[in-house]
A and B are shown apart, each in its own frame.
Chain A
């Protein structure tokens, strides 16, 4: 090997590549969409929104799809225009904590103010924090979210499992309902469950809360 080749190898050893983005979520989301399209899933129609439909839920603006993020049971579509959103979100009557179909995870083990069974999962209400938990093993997606290109969306890890941080206003699509306005949220997988935390906190605090669930 010549000096020049050794020099190039030395350069290679000192290169500062940009960090590799987490590609798996985007790849899986796109492959899932292809599978769903091929099967023509009636179920997808039944829950009202297929992933692409989220992007085209705004006939007036014809929002175009910029990017996808995906964790099990949830997809975030980054689009360039949000549909009209409602802020009303009725969670229905509270239920006792211990009547849920699976053991609910609680931040720092704290009991919530109220628990509501709705939207294919359970809503746990705390002061300044709303947690949604659902079982997401292989079924159709329960959560679909659309956000503007300018909103920060990124993959994160919570205790080694994949998650998505949405750093601003976005549309939340739940089965059979209209798009609802939502604020900062963290979605992550935890064993067989997928959780969504919404609170007016930054990423660091959201991760700390997510890591405390037990």
Chain B
């Protein structure tokens, strides 16, 4: 979600106001960290990637085109940092996400809840088995709920490629689940 007055904050940050940039960091640190996490697959790498991403974004503010949305621009920088870390590790990182425990609240059918939890686990495991580019596009679109434009920016690909890759990744995921 865009923080209130984002355009003004970005404008002030571009003019060198440190407080404005700090507010942008606070507004986007969670999204930046999560994006880096789904790509790098490791919390420590994600923390470094997000921090480096913010520092590099600050350096690049002079090149930021005024009036453009800030969020996809930032995500592109952070995701690039996360991909670099994944590459430098030289192996495919596990997604390392766990389905949160479902509280057995009143009114919940325990059998239904168990089945739902099992289904989530199956989907996650299947996503994890996909190749990196398929997994990344699904993680951005469905797990982080990024828009097509934001996914395109984060993955450094065209919007049309996001569509075709998502379609392909969903087909492969379906096969994995059979």
Contact = CB atoms under 8 A, between A and B. Distances in A.
B30 A8 contact: no
B120 to A, nearest CB: 5
Contacts of B99: 11, 14-16
Nearest to B59: A34
A5 B120 contact: no
A140 interface: no
A23 interface: yes
A93 interface: no
B26 A17 contact: no
Interface in B40-93: 43, 46-47, 50-51, 54-55, 58
B143 A12 contact: yes
B54 A27 contact: yes
Given A16-B99, A18-B37, A4 B143 contact: no
B29 A20 contact: yes
Contacts of B33: 20-21, 23
Contacts of A4: 123, 170, 173-174, 177
A18 B41 CA distance: 11
Contacts of A10: 116, 119-120
Given A7-B119, A11-B123, A23 B142 contact: no
Interface residues of B, number: 40
Interface in A1-44: 2, 4-5, 7-12, 14-18, 20-24, 26-28, 30-31
A16 B25 contact: no
Contact of B138 (A2, A8, A22, A28): A8
Contacts of B143: 8, 11-12, 15
Nearest to B142: A8
B104 to A, nearest CB: 14
Contact of B55 (A12, A15, A27): A27
Contacts of B145: 9, 12
B22 interface: yes
A15 B58 CA distance: 30
Contacts of B58: 27, 31
Given A30-B51, A31-B18, 18 more contacts: A4-B123, A4-B173, A7-B120, A8-B142, A9-B145, A11-B124, A11-B143, A14-B99, A15-B97, A15-B99, A16-B98, A18-B46, A21-B47, A22-B29, A23-B32, A24-B22, A26-B51, A28-B18
Interface of B: 18, 21-22, 25-26, 29-30, 32-34, 37, 43, 46-47, 50-51, 54-55, 58, 97-100, 102, 116-117, 119-120, 123-124, 127, 138, 142-145, 170, 173-174, 177
